[in-house]
Amino acid sequence: MAQARLDRKEQITGWVFIAPALVLLGLFMIYPIVWSLWMSFQVGKGMNLSFGGFANILRLTKDAVFLRALGNTFTFFIFQVPIMIVLALLFAVALNDSTLKFRGFFRTAIFLPCATSLIAYSTVFKSMFAIDGVVNQTLMELHLISAPISWLGDPFWAKVLIIMAITWRWTGYNMIFYLAALQNIDRSIYEAARIDGVPAWARFRYLTIPMLKPVILFTTVISTIGTLQLFDEVYNFSAGTGGPSDSTLTLSLYIYNLTFKFMPSFGYSATVSWVIVVLVGILSFLQFMVARDRRTS
């Protein structure tokens, strides 16, 4: 009986200690999520809202701007995430070589962009890729182009610039995860494969990648979430317009415009935000399904 009272007292004490954290979690995370879901069924402008059922969902199918933003977001996701993951993996394998000189310098140099100020690097990129910027001048001096490229004024090249900027900024972030995982792999595995005459590409394909599979899945999921929520680079590069001609407009920037730039449409912007939630859930599920172990009984 005494032991039971002591166990109960310890449980109550534990709940008292975590109660403040639970209250804050519910107030600033759970409540906004539930409220945004309720808001997604509201229609109207500003604070003049009323329950509209599935009107906002039907509106999505007819909203050309939303469909364009959805297409742009998927374009960034399809091209940028694989490029970044592959580059991060290759950099990690190269910088994990104990015989490589100045490894610390190279690791820092590749990781540094993700710690750089967004405003600072956006300004530098816009200057470098301007019509008369250093990138166009260099390409013309190398005779790779005959006329300057309008990186910020052409829909195609604007997308390319966004992809390059995101890749430059976040490749090092993913590389750190791969480096940490590689350093926990027993080197005797590679030594045995090397003694058996297994070439470097085969060691990478049949040893490194399978052993890094959980980390690759993790970085792919978080990169997917980050790309589907892409806002900062697009906002800074296009001055908040998503231009030229909405060619770089993303779902997150569209939500921002619906909420703060145009006549506020809180219900519809909440609906668009839940589209991102659904896409993240679907794509993450598919990635887990692709990466799961296929073992036969």
Rounded Cα–Cα distance for residues 203 and 197 (Å): 10
DSSP for residue 63: -
**3-class SS of residue 43:** strand
Q: Given a cut of 60, is residue 260 above it in pLDDT?
A: yes
pLDDT at 262: 79
Using pLDDT thresholds of 50, 70 and 90, give the confidence band for residue 296. Answer: very low
Residues 139, 266, single domain; the answer is: yes
Domain count, the chain: 2
Q: Which tens digits make up the pLDDT trace of 82-138?
A: 999 999 999 999 998 888 888 889 999 999 998 888 888 888 999 999 999 999 999
For 47, 100, 118, 147, the CA distances from 103, given in Å and listed in that order, are 56, 6, 26, 39
Q: Name the pTM for this structure.
A: 0.87
* Residue whose token pair is 């859930």: 281
Residues 274, 238, single domain; the answer is: yes
Terminal C-alpha separation, the chain: 48
Residues 101, 185, single domain; the answer is: yes
38: amino acid identity, one letter? W
Q: Is residue 48 part of a domain?
A: no
Q: Which domain holds residue 31?
A: 2-39
Residues 178, 100, single domain; the answer is: yes
Q: Which tens digits make up the pLDDT trace of 14-73?
A: 888 889 999 999 999 999 999 999 998 988 887 788 888 888 999 999 999 999 999 999
Residues 79, 14, single domain; the answer is: no
Q: Is residue 47 part of a domain?
A: no
286: amino acid identity, one letter? L
Rounded Cα–Cα distance for residues 174 and 119 (Å): 21
Q: Which tens digits make up the pLDDT trace of 226-251?
A: 999 999 999 999 888 888 888 999 99
Q: Is residue 123 part of a domain?
A: yes
Q: Given a cut of 70, is residue 1 above it in pLDDT?
A: no
**3-class SS of residue 77:** helix
Residues 139, 33, single domain; the answer is: no
Residues 16, 87, single domain; the answer is: no
Which CATH number goes with the domain that contains 255? Answer: 1.10.3720.10
CA-closest candidate to residue 210, choices 95, 89, 38, 118: 89
Percent of the chain clearing pLDDT 90 (strictly above): 55
pLDDT at 239: 85
**3-class SS of residue 42:** strand
Q: Is residue 112 part of a domain?
A: yes
Can you read off the two tokens belonging to residue 204?
């990478």
pLDDT at 174: 95
Q: Is residue 199 part of a domain?
A: yes
Residues 171, 265, single domain; the answer is: yes
* Residue whose token pair is 């301007």: 130
Rounded Cα–Cα distance for residues 59 and 265 (Å): 12
pLDDT at 2: 60
Mention every residue, 6+ apart, whose C-beta is less than 8 A from residue 224: 77, 81, 280, 283, 284, 287
User: Hey, which residues does 42 pair with through a beta bridge?
Assistant: 51
Residues 32, 164, single domain; the answer is: no
CA-closest candidate to residue 224, choices 87, 114, 81: 81
* Residue whose token pair is 């909440």: 270
Q: Is residue 69 part of a domain?
A: yes
Q: Is residue 297 part of a domain?
A: no
Residues 101, 239, single domain; the answer is: yes
